[in-house]
Amino acid sequence: MHEARTPPADFIWAKLVPELLVADLAVSLRFWRDLLGFAVVYERADEGFAFLDREGAQFMLEERGKARRTWETGPLQVPLGRGINFEIRSVSLAPILAKLAEASWPLYLAPEEKCYCAGKVERGQRQFLVQDPDGYLLRFAEPLGARALEN
């Protein structure tokens, strides 16, 4: 575990921060920090907790069984997070993809370019999906621009 940190005074807190239960925080941090490039903003090692940030995308990771309390609403089975994927916007996918390839980490969906209709605008993005060690599905997206849709 890394030394305790205090968030800088100018740190911007996201308005929505998912907290994910994980089997082993050390394993998860090797994935989230070392492969995906998230920074540990702060952690509580005695509780198996870490708060992560990457370009404003924030997650909390909590090791099952170490927290003083938990909000498990039912039995958990791997892969965790079934039925949800977290889209994480990124300036560039290249460094993340390079780290994942270097670690021989499998992708759930290879990089693709996809356009999505958003009202009267079509937004393009380059994206890929990867599962973390506990099975949470993460979709990294690099914006490619937008164009107005014709009627």
pLDDT by residue (tens digit) across 47-79? 999 999 999 999 999 999 887 777 888 888 899
- Sorted by where each begins, the domain ranges of the chain are 19-67+78-148
The percent of residues in the chain predicted with pLDDT above 70, rounded, is 96
If you ran DSSP here, which 8-state letter would residue 108 be given?
Answer: S
Nearest residue to 125 via CA among 110, 140, 107, 103: 140
Predicted local confidence at residue 79, as pLDDT: 92
Per-residue pLDDT tens digits for 78-101:
999 999 999 999 999 999 999 999
> So what's the pLDDT on residue 71?
81
CB distance 78 to 133 below 8 Å: no
Give which of 125, 134, 132, 47 is closest to 90, Cα–Cα: 125
Residue 3 has pLDDT above 80, yes or no: no
CATH code for the domain defined by 19-67+78-148: 3.10.180.10
